[in-house]
């Protein structure tokens, strides 16, 4: 006896020859389409993104498992069918007919003995066919399967040559493998039919279980993502709420700082910004209030004298003119000082360049002598250079010298000095006088705007030391006052400016 099989070939695809040799084309990049999420909160967007990515990952994993399961079902089906075919061939080649104790000589006896010795699986049907019809069959569920015309026709069509095929039946898809047989009476065949849907049922149950587990996992991941996103974005929400509560009259609100991550750093940065804004607005309000007060006084003086002036009295007109010009000059100085203080908070206020400290000290000493009759001296001269704005530093030192002249007598000493601190890499510049000194309780207050320190009757508008402070802080330095000769009847005052030798960020006061 011989068996005949069929070979199958897989189709091949070829690359489109028309694509070869074609020059590349340049395409204009189009903007990405909007997803319509502009109205959603960031937390919702993050949650949706995580849910979408998780769903895609679970879906792709499930699809891969299903495809691999389908392939495994097909492999198991073919192996199970091949096993039955091989067992029949082995029985045919080596088996003994129990009735004759001889080799099998007929298809009827071979198939009958084989079916009697094998218990088919629930999804399996084995049949023997000869003389143009199905002669023998194993027990199957449902029993009507063997009577299906499509199955019978598929088996009978392959009796001469054998082979495999699939059949659509009322009982689902069937996979059929036919083995040709022959004896002295003619040709026949042994066929094995497998119910593919029953073999796929375990896979379908597995996929249903996976779908349920994946749905639960997606719900857990989505809920966790919403919770985590809410926790992570809590500082942002607090920032928005705090910003909504901030008004022109209340800049004291701050965002709670919790944790030690990037958002916490952002919170600290925003709080620092709010502090600077509060300081700036508070200073601006105080500055405007003080400026309005200072300007109101000379304006009142001008109005009063103009109302009382006798137009026919030449001497009265001349005296009023001199007084008004003096008040105008005072207001002009006030406005100039106010503009300077306003510029001090802006970029470009300084023009830093390497400056020779020896030459700077000598130049300031020469310019100071024109401010009045005093015992002018130079305490110390630094040798070296520093990166600073020489004109602004000169302006600050001359302002300190002018302040010293206003609070001393002609016989008093006014001295300038400079020194280098190599350890701290700083420059120290100072103006010293032998006047009455500054009371301890006023040594901090005199640097505020519109504060007249040592003598309220000395004139001025109280902005000189504020200008010195602004120049020092713009360099990243500081200014302070101390007694020049402590423990003496006239302790004098030493105003010292300390600046870094190299460029440093401005040291504006914190809120």
- Distance between CA 277 and CA 275 in Å, rounded? 5
Which residues, in sequence order, are CB contacts of 270 under 8 Å at separation 6+? 239, 255
Which residues, in sequence order, are CB contacts of 22 under 8 Å at separation 6+? none
Q: Which domain holds residue 491?
A: 349-500
Give me the pLDDT at residue 454, please.
Answer: 53
- Distance between CA 140 and CA 126 in Å, rounded? 9
Task: Tell me the three-class secondary structure of 181-210, residue by residue.
Answer: EEECCEEEEEEEEEEHHHHHHHHHHHHHHH
The answer to the question of residue 154 being in a domain is yes
Same domain, 74 and 144: yes
CB 376 within 8 A of CB 412: no
Same domain, 447 and 390: yes
The most distant pair of C-alpha atoms in the chain lies apart, rounded to whole Å, by: 164
CB 198 within 8 A of CB 174: no
Q: Of the candidates 162, 177, 202, which is a domain's last residue?
A: 202
CA angle 123, 128, 129 (to 5 degrees): 125
Phi, psi for residue 396 in degrees, rounded to 5: -65, -45
The answer to the question of residue 331 being in a domain is yes
- Distance between CA 289 and CA 138 in Å, rounded? 109
Radius of gyration of the chain (CA): 52
Q: How many residues does the chain have?
A: 511
Question: Measured in whole angstroms, how far is the alpha carbon of residue 340 from the centre of its chain?
Answer: 40
Residue 400: which CATH number? 3.30.565.10
The answer to the question of residue 26 being in a domain is no
- Distance between CA 413 and CA 470 in Å, rounded? 26
Same domain, 332 and 360: no
Same domain, 403 and 374: yes
Q: What is the pTM of this model?
A: 0.49
The answer to the question of residue 46 being in a domain is yes
- Distance between CA 336 and CA 467 in Å, rounded? 11
Q: Of the candidates 313, 343, 373, which is a domain's last residue?
A: 343
Number of C-alpha atoms within 13 angstroms, CB side, residue 99? 8
Same domain, 319 and 353: no
Which sign, positive or negative, has the C-alpha torsion 387, 355, 416, 423? positive
- Distance between CA 268 and CA 247 in Å, rounded? 20
- Distance between CA 306 and CA 504 in Å, rounded? 51
Same domain, 437 and 334: no
- Distance between CA 404 and CA 465 in Å, rounded? 11
Same domain, 333 and 355: no
What is the number of domains present in the chain?
3
Torsion of CA 365, 371, 375, 379, to 10 degrees: -30
The answer to the question of residue 176 being in a domain is yes
| 254 token code pair | 């701050």
Same domain, 357 and 467: yes
Number of C-alpha atoms within 13 angstroms, CB side, residue 427? 31
Same domain, 298 and 406: no
- Distance between CA 387 and CA 502 in Å, rounded? 5
CB atoms < 10 A from the CB of 72, how many?
12
- Distance between CA 165 and CA 71 in Å, rounded? 17
| 93 token code pair | 């080649």
| 250 token code pair | 């209340």
Residue 131: which CATH number? 3.30.450
CB 127 within 8 A of CB 138: yes
CB 267 within 8 A of CB 237: no
Which helix (H) or strand (E) element contains residue 503? none
CB atoms < 10 A from the CB of 417, how many?
20
Which residues, in sequence order, are CB contacts of 389 under 8 Å at separation 6+? 350, 351, 352, 353, 471, 474, 475
| 387 token code pair | 């990166």
pLDDT (tens, 9 = 90+) of the chain, 511 residues, equals 333 343 333 333 444 444 444 444 444 455 545 555 667 888 899 999 999 999 999 999 999 999 999 999 999 989 999 999 999 999 988 888 888 888 888 889 999 899 988 888 888 999 999 988 999 999 877 888 888 899 999 999 999 899 999 999 888 889 999 999 988 888 899 999 999 988 889 999 999 999 999 999 999 999 999 999 888 888 778 777 877 777 666 777 777 777 777 777 887 888 888 887 887 777 677 667 767 766 776 777 778 878 877 777 788 788 888 878 877 877 787 777 777 777 766 677 888 899 999 999 999 999 999 888 999 999 999 999 999 999 999 989 999 999 999 889 999 999 999 999 999 999 999 999 999 989 888 888 888 766 655 555 445 556 788 889 989 998 999 999 999 988 888 899 999 999 999 877 665 554 3
The answer to the question of residue 3 being in a domain is no
Which helix (H) or strand (E) element contains residue 461? none
The answer to the question of residue 220 being in a domain is no
Phi, psi for residue 359 in degrees, rounded to 5: -65, -40
Residue 295: which CATH number? 1.10.287.130
Same domain, 369 and 326: no
| 234 token code pair | 């809590």
Same domain, 355 and 482: yes
Same domain, 189 and 150: yes
Q: Of the candidates 168, 184, 202, which is a domain's last residue?
A: 202
């Amino acid at each position: 006896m011989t068996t005949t099989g069929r070979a199958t070939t897989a189709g091949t695809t070829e690359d489109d020859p028309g694509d070869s040799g074609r020059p590349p084309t340049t395409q204009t990049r189009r903007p990405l389409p909007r997803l319509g999420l502009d109205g959603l909160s960031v937390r919702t967007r993050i949650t949706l993104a995580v849910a979408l990515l998780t769903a895609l990952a679970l879906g792709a994993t499930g699809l891969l498992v299903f495809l691999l399961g389908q392939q495994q079902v097909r492999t198991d089906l073919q192996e199970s069918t091949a096993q039955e075919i091989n067992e029949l061939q082995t029985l045919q080649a080596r088996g003994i007919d129990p009735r004759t104790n001889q080799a099998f000589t007929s298809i009827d006896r071979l198939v009958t003995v084989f079916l009697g010795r094998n218990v088919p699986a629930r999804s399996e049907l084995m049949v023997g066919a000869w003389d143009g019809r199905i002669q023998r069959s194993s027990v199957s569920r449902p029993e009507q399967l063997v009577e299906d015309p499509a199955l019978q026709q598929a088996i009978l069509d392959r009796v001469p040559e054998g082979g495999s095929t699939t059949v659509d039946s009322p009982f689902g898809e069937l996979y059929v493998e036919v083995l040709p047989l022959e004896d002295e009476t003619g040709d026949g065949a042994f066929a094995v039919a497998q119910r593919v849907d029953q073999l796929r049922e375990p896979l379908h149950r597995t996929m249903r279980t996976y779908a349920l587990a994946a749905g639960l996992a997606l719900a857990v991941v989505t809920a966790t993502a919403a919770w985590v996103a809410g926790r992570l974005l809590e500082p942002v929400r607090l920032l928005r709420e705090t910003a909504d509560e901030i008004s022109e009259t209340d800049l004291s609100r701050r965002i709670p700082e919790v944790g030690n991550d990037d958002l916490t750093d952002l919170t600290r940065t925003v709080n620092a910004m709010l502090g600077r804004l509060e300081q700036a607005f508070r200073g601006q309000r105080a500055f405007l209030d003080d400026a309005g007060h200072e300007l109101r006084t000379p304006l009142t003086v001008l109005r009063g004298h103009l109302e009382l002036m006798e137009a026919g009295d030449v001497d009265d007109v001349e005296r009023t003119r001199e007084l008004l010009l003096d008040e105008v000059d005072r207001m002009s100085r006030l406005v100039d000082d106010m503009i300077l203080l306003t510029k001090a908070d802006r970029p470009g206020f300084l023009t830093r360049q390497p400056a020779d400290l020896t030459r700077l000290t000598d130049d300031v000493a020469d310019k100071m002598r024109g401010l009045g009759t005093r015992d002018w001296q130079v305490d110390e001269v630094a040798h070296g250079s520093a990166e600073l704005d020489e004109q602004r530093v000169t302006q600050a030192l001359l302002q300190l010298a002018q302040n010293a002249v206003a609070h001393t007598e002609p016989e008093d000493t006014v001295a300038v000095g400079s020194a280098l601190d190599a350890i701290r890499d700083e420059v120290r510049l100072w103006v010293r006088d032998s006047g009455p000194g500054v009371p301890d309780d006023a040594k901090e207050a005199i640097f505020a705007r519109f504060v007249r320190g040592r003598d309220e009757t000395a004139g001025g508008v109280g902005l000189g030391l504020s200008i010195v402070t602004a120049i020092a802080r713009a360099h990243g330095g500081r200014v302070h006052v101390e007694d020049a000769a402590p423990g003496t009847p006239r302790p004098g005052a030493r105003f010292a400016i300390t600046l870094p030798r190299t460029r440093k960020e401005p040291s504006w006061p914190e809120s």
